[in-house]
């Protein structure tokens, strides 16, 4: 019987949690430690079902709207941000609010207010219905229009000054095409001082592209409502390599691995790193593997926690 060589598992780096996700999850964990449950969280704190279930088990209660939160209770805004209308509702209900909005999303909100104050029509590039997009649109609902594609840009009818912003978790290459189309339509277009697509999204996309080009199959660990995870799968597939999004190792179909000698593996920025370890073990159970890490960038960014949850020691 001929022995097959070990299957290569190419780990993309960076992968899994980014600084914004770590901050958001830690805010809820510290609140649960300090105050006990229930701690109410509007929407999923981050888009990952395993994170949500883990926090639920400790006493977090996830709600769709603040109307579900008892008057005066502790509530957390998710990492994706909220509109001014949601903040106003929280004040009306006398909620003790902890804001877990990613600082990079907060930056986009600040830009939206600044662009609106100078009288611009703001074109927001993003995915309709995404929580981050809903929150950003709420900063200037009368002056903002949403586009997703180049065709959407071609259909715009805008007079006067125009600026643009983007959702933080978009595909870098596709977004660049939309921005180019905006510049063609509106030569005086103004944008943010620095890219709105966040460093973590960009780094993970660069890493997964590099790994996909060396792999026969790509697996990205993440939930289906995680925009950055879905974009990673799409990007890997555009290299010509079959790519799948899995919430965890249980979703791997062994048929995907037939004839595969190299598996690229990464995780979206809201997926816990231990889920990647479990996928590696699942692959190991199917035969010998050789693990290698392919690093596209080193991340050292950390965001400060709100004062209300900081503790000495």
Q: Is 270 annotated as a binding residue?
A: yes
What secondary structure letter does DSSP report for 179? H
Separation CA 30–CA 258 (nearest Å): 45
Number of neighbours of residue 300 by Cβ within 10 angstroms: 6
Q: Which residues are part of the catalytic machinery?
A: 132
Task: Establish whether 183 is an annotated binding residue.
Answer: no
- The verdict on whether residue 266 carries a ligand-binding annotation is no
**Could you tell me where the DSSP H helices lie in the chain?**
19-35, 49-58, 84-92, 103-117, 131-137, 150-154, 172-185, 199-212, 227-238, 273-285
The reply to whether 136 sits in an annotated binding site is no
Q: How far apart are CA 18 and CA 266, in angstroms?
A: 13
d(CA 200, CA 177): 20
- 102 among annotated binding-site residues: yes
* Residue 171 three-state SS: coil
Q: What's the CA gap between 310 and 119, in Å, rounded?
A: 39
Which structure tokens are listed for 176?
């660049």
Report yes or no: 100 and 78 within 8 Å, Cβ to Cβ.
yes
CA separation (Å) from 153 to 40, 164, 278? 39, 11, 43
User: Does 229 appear as a known binding residue?
Assistant: no
250 labelled as ligand-binding? no
Q: Would the annotation count 47 as a binding residue?
A: yes
Tell me how far apart the alpha carbons of residues 70 and 79 are, in angstroms, rounded to a whole number.
Answer: 21
130 is in an annotated binding site: yes
Has 80 been labeled as part of a binding site?
Answer: yes
Residue numbers in the known binding site for [4Fe-4S] cluster are: 18, 102, 198
Which residues are annotated as part of the binding site for dimethylallyl diphosphate?
A: 47, 80, 130, 226-228, 270
- List binding-site positions: 18, 47, 80, 102, 130, 168, 198, 226-228, 270
């Amino acid at each position: 019987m001929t022995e097959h060589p070990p299957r290569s598992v190419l780990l993309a780096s960076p992968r899994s949690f980014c600084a914004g996700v770590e901050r958001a999850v830690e805010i809820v964990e510290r609140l649960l430690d300090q105050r006990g449950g229930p701690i109410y969280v509007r929407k999923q704190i981050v888009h990952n079902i395993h994170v949500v279930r883990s926090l639920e088990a400790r006493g977090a209660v996830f709600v769709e709207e603040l109307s579900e939160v008892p008057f005066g209770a502790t509530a957390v805004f998710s990492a994706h941000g909220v509109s001014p209308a949601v903040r106003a509702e929280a004040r009306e209900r006398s909620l003790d609010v902890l804001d877990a909005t990613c600082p990079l999303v907060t930056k986009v909100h600040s830009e939206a207010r600044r662009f609106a104050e100078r009288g611009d029509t703001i074109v927001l590039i993003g995915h309709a219905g995404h929580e981050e997009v809903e929150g950003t649109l709420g900063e200037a609902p009368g002056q903002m229009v949403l586009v997703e594609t180049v065709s959407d840009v071609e259909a715009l009818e805008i007079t006067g000054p125009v600026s643009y912003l983007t959702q933080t978790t978009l595909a870098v290459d596709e977004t660049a095409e939309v921005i180019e189309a905006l510049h063609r339509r509106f030569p005086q277009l103004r944008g943010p001082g620095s890219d709105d697509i966040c460093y973590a999204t960009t780094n993970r996309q660069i890493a997964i592209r590099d790994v996909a080009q060396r792999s026969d199959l790509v697996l990205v660990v993440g939930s289906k409502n995680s925009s950055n995870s879905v974009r990673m799968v799409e990007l890997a597939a555009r290299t010509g390599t079959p790519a799948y999004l899995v919430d965890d190792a249980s979703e791997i179909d062994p048929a995907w691995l037939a004839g595969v000698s190299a598996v690229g593996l990464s995780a979206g920025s809201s997926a816990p790193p231990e889920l990647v370890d479990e996928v590696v073990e699942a692959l190991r159970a199917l035969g010998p593997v050789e693990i290698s890490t392919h690093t596209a960038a080193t991340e050292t960014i950390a965001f400060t926690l709100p004062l209300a949850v900081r503790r000495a020691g």
